[in-house]
Amino acid sequence: MQTRKYEILYIIRPDLGENDRKALVERFDAIIANSGAENLESKEWEKRRLAYEIKDYKEGLYHIMTFETASEEGLNEFTRLANYSRDILRFMITKQED
């Protein structure tokens, strides 16, 4: 099966404690890694002011992940859990062109 390259950008609420933020990132990294993704890179981007308020927040902590996978299983699970997480304000998954 052919692998595809993806990027996930998500915004974490800014008032989340350092330990809780690290645990959140590790949990969502594990979702992708356990689905067979390769070349996983996960890094904190920066704290930025939002263009408009999201859930009463004017700022957010941006986090970005890049990886390659042949299965969309991890993406589907990431989407499902991120939609229910109160700590993730928004997220976007993009497929990178070869």
Residue with tokens 């800014």: 14
Q: For residue 25, what pLDDT is reported?
A: 94
Q: pLDDT tens digits for 55-93?
A: 999 999 999 999 998 888 889 999 999 999 999 999 999
| Contacts (Cβ under 8 Å, ≥6 apart) of 69 | 3, 4, 6, 32, 35, 36, 37, 38, 75
Neighbouring CB atoms inside 10 A of 10's CB total 24
pLDDT above 80 (res 39)? no
Alpha helices in 39-84 (DSSP H): 73-84
Neighbouring CB atoms inside 10 A of 23's CB total 13
Contact 5, 67 (CB under 8 A): yes
- Extract the tokens encoding 94: 């993009």
- pTM equals 0.88
Sheet order of strands, 88-96 included: 38-54, 57-69, 4-12, 88-96
Task: Name all domains of the chain by residue range, CATH numbers in brackets.
Answer: 4-95 (3.30.70.60)
pLDDT above 90 (res 2)? no
